[in-house]
């Protein structure tokens, strides 16, 4: 029974993360800022960027933050503000 609960909780967490990003980023691409601007902004904060890609209308950044913690964070491509995060 406990195993079923844990698996259900894990599935809901996974699905809610994808839905979270999908619901947060829906601006037309002609309003987006360049991913290079986001990268420069994060590097000023001490992040080391591994990859930036587009996922459900958001920028998804794979990086290590200034404290050395691995990050998978979603950013609004218009405001470049974080809108969600997956723990790595």
**What is the pTM assigned to this prediction?**
0.72
Q: Once rounded to an integer, what is the mean pLDDT over residues 3-21?
A: 45
Q: Once rounded to an integer, what is the mean pLDDT over residues 81-86?
A: 92
- Closest alpha carbon to 83 in 27, 26, 21, 36: 21
Centre a 10 Å sphere on the Cβ of residue 25 and count the other Cβ atoms it contains.
23
Per residue in 28-69, pLDDT tens?
A: 999 999 999 999 999 999 999 999 999 999 999 999 999 999
pLDDT confidence of residue 73: 96
Domain that holds residue 43: 2-87
pLDDT confidence of residue 1: 54
Q: How many domains does the chain have?
A: 1
């Amino acid at each position: 029974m406990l195993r079923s609960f844990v698996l259900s909780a894990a599935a809901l967490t996974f699905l809610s993360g994808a839905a979270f990003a999908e619901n947060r980023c829906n601006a037309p691409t002609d309003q987006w800022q360049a991913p290079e601007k986001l990268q420069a902004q994060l590097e000023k904060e001490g992040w080391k960027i591994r990859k930036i890609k587009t996922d459900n209308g958001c920028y998804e950044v794979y990086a290590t933050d200034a404290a050395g913690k691995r990050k998978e964070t979603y950013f609004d491509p218009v405001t470049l503000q974080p809108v969600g995060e997956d723990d790595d």
